[in-house]
């Protein structure tokens, strides 16, 4: 009996998972296409404004960027961004123990001032 139920559940999973995955993928692709169309529209609108202000070079740059949005490879712009960040290794290095971070320094100053306050209060008593 258990074996029959297990077989049935496996056959259901084989059929239902692709259907759900396909619907999910289709929804994501639709949302991506709409987002890209909106982004292209915004870039073209901004290019027209810059062109009207006499900044043809900026308008051309925006139009070039809009044409580079790749509908067949939605992650292409993200890959370029990651590659640019990876080239700048200083961004990728965590601060060393010797390099104090502003937040750490602020905490140390706050702790020191609290300690001084406590000491002055205990001296007054």
In a domain, 124, yes or no: no
In a domain, 122, yes or no: no
Residues 77, 70: Cα–Cα separation, whole Å: 8
Q: Which domain holds residue 56?
A: 2-70
pLDDT per position as a tens digit, 81-114? 667 666 665 555 555 555 555 666 677 777 777 8
Number of domains the chain is built from = 1
What SS3 class is residue 95?
coil
pLDDT per position as a tens digit, 10-42? 888 888 888 888 888 888 888 888 888 898 899
In a domain, 10, yes or no: yes
pTM of the model: 0.45
In a domain, 86, yes or no: no
What Cα–Cα distance (Å) separates residue 92 from each residue in 13, 76, 85?
A: 42, 21, 8
């Amino acid at each position: 009996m258990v074996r029959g139920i297990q077989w049935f559940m496996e056959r259901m999973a084989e059929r239902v998972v692709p259907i759900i995955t396909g619907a999910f993928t289709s929804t994501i692709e639709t949302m991506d296409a709409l987002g890209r169309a909106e982004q292209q529209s915004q870039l073209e609108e901004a290019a027209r404004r810059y062109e009207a202000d006499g900044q043809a070079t900026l308008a051309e740059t925006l139009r070039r960027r809009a044409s580079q949005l790749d509908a067949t490879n939605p992650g292409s712009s993200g890959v370029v961004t990651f590659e640019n960040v990876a080239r700048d290794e200083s961004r990728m290095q965590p601060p060393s123990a010797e390099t104090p971070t502003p937040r750490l320094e602020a905490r140390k100053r706050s702790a020191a001032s609290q300690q001084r306050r406590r000491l002055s209060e205990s001296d007054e008593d």
